[in-house]
Amino acid sequence: MAQQTTLPCGEFPQSSQEVPRHPSHSAPYPPGTRAPWGLFLGVALLAGCAQAGTQGLIAPTAWREDVQDPGVVETYAVERYAVAGQTMQAVRQGIEALGPVVNGQHFAGRTHYDIHYEYNVLGNSERCALADLHVRLDLRVLLPEFTEASGPTFTDYMQGLTRHEDGHVRVDRHIASALRQAIRAVPPQPDCTAMQAAIRQAGKETLESGNALNVQYDTLTNHGLTQGAANQ
């Protein structure tokens, strides 16, 4: 939270912070079929559609191009879990035993993000406006590591899975940057209660749009299937 400084007479600061929720989005792994082992965790998909004004902040193909917003503080970590076995069947069994589980379903990879934002608003008897804003994006990617399996099949699979999760990372960076832009664009309001409500609404709409884009990305890539993340 930014430190408060001496203010002109009649003005007063108010501060707040928002930490969006992050349930899971996943697709079941159909037994006996070729399917990716991918999972995306992110911000909650809220009811309804995003209103006009925030949709344009996130490119519809955000997973293709990375973005580095100097106004967003980012933490990024890749974690790996060891999977033994020399055949695809053995590797599949290892992934089902050791990979991430969501709602009873087993997956091989997972991208998890949290977006935290803190802000101060500054108001007087006539209006209230945003004073400062801090946005942090926490990214954690979980992938398997084959300790015994080798060869083109396993290399291609890992490259495909990594490629798919990298796409989610790029989308998540776009979401954090778009959220920062949307909140900074909120115009002053008659009072600070209204200003805080407007900031929360801008954040909500941006997160809805971004979350929908992550879902669209999974649909277009069949959760990584079209990118090479498929068991044989």
Other beta carbons within 10 Å of 125:
10
164-186 pLDDT, tens digit per residue, is 899 999 999 999 999 999 999 99
| Neighbouring residues of 44: CB distance < 8 A, sequence distance ≥ 6 | 20, 21, 22, 23, 207, 211
- 3 pLDDT exceeds 70? no
Residues in Cβ contact with 154 at an 8 Å cutoff, skipping those fewer than 6 apart: 88, 91, 146
Model confidence pLDDT, tens digit, residues 49-74: 222 234 456 666 767 778 889 999 99
Question: From the CA atom positions of the chain, what is the Rg in Å?
Answer: 21
- pLDDT tens string 96-155: 899 887 667 777 888 999 999 999 999 988 999 999 999 999 999 999 999 998 888 889
pLDDT of 230 above 90 = no
- Whole-number mean pLDDT of the chain? 75
| Structure confidence at residue 83 (pLDDT) | 93
Looking at residue 187, its pLDDT comes to: 96
Distances in Å between the alpha carbon of 83 and those of 78, 139, 146? 16, 23, 5
196 touches 14 (CB < 8 A): yes
